[in-house]
Structures are given as C-alpha cells and as structure tokens.
C-alpha cells in the first residue's frame, strides 16, 4: 500500500523538475547564444497528469532532437518543426506531424494540437504577451 507520506515528496520533486524544464529553452541553431530580441521561442506543452496532453518538438528543419524538447529558440525565418502529441491515458496515444513557422525575432510561439477521433492536427501561433 502506498501512503500519502511517500507520495507527496515524489509529486513535489516531479513538479520542481517540470518547472525547471519549462524555464529553459533549447538552442536550436549553431553558434553562440543570442539575446531574446534576436531569436524566436517556440513552446510545446509539458503535462504529466493522466488525461492530459504533452506536445514536444522532435526536430527543426530536419535536425532531430533526443530527447524531444518542450521549448526551443530558433533564428528568424521559415522553419519546419517536427511535433509529437502524446496523450497520457489509456495506454497513451502518440501522433507525429510537422508545422511550418515563419519566425520573427523577439516573438514567442505556442504549439497546439487538436484530437478528433483517430486524427490529430497541429498548429503554431504567436503566444499572447503576458507582462
């Protein structure tokens, strides 16, 4: 039997790891790190709870990532992003696809997916600025 006393520290640690992972972006371009005004950020969605969906970035312009990334920085311009949708429940539903992004410097973009039966579609849009 699992007691709440044993579960609470594990859930707390997973929450901290999740927050730390969301706070950093993977640099998906060669060369030195550039300031946030010179790159675009693309965010997926990282969820771990049953019944939720995660969106990960599996590649940019044909360059694969292992492990998949939840947030990346790209240079301005057109990019083809490989995306993975994972539904946490019922054995997990995995769908892979691509989206095209015309990235602008200093902008943040959010990946989205929509599931309709056996079909999953992907999209990317500029995120609302929260200040």
**Has residue 50 been placed in a domain?**
yes
**Has residue 17 been placed in a domain?**
no
Q: Which two tokens stand for residue 92?
A: 């997990």
Q: What pLDDT, on the 0 to 100 scale, is given for residue 85? A: 86
**Has residue 2 been placed in a domain?**
no
Q: What pLDDT, on the 0 to 100 scale, is given for residue 95? A: 84
Domain region containing 67? 25-126
Q: What pLDDT, on the 0 to 100 scale, is given for residue 111? A: 95
**Has residue 131 been placed in a domain?**
no
**Has residue 5 been placed in a domain?**
no
**pTM assigned to the model:** 0.75
| Dihedral of the alpha carbons of 83, 62, 25, 116, in degrees to the nearest 10 | -10
**Has residue 88 been placed in a domain?**
yes
Q: What pLDDT, on the 0 to 100 scale, is given for residue 17? A: 41
Q: What pLDDT, on the 0 to 100 scale, is given for residue 3? A: 45
Number of structural domains, the chain?
Answer: 1
3-state SS, residue 80: strand
Sheet of strand 77-87: strand arrangement: 63-69, 53-60, 77-87, 93-103
What are the per-10-residue average pLDDT scores of the chain (131 residues)?
45 40 78 96 83 87 92 97 83 84 97 84 84 45
State how far the Cα of 118 lies from the Cα of 98, in Å rounded to an integer: 17
**Has residue 11 been placed in a domain?**
no
**Has residue 68 been placed in a domain?**
yes
């Amino acid at each position: 039997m699992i007691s709440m006393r044993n579960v609470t520290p594990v859930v707390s640690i997973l929450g901290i790891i999740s927050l730390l992972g969301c706070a950093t972006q993977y640099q998906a371009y060669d060369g030195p790190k550039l300031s946030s005004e010179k790159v675009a950020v693309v965010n997926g969605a990282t969820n771990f709870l049953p019944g939720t969906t995660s969106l990960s970035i599996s590649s940019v312009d044909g360059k694969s990532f292992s492990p998949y990334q939840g947030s990346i920085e790209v240079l301005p311009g057109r990019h083809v992003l490989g995306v993975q949708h994972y539904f946490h429940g019922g054995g997990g539903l995995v769908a892979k696809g691509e989206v095209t992004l015309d990235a602008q410097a200093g902008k943040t973009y959010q990946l989205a997916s929509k599931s309709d039966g056996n079909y999953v579609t992907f999209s990317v849009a500029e995120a609302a600025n929260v200040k």
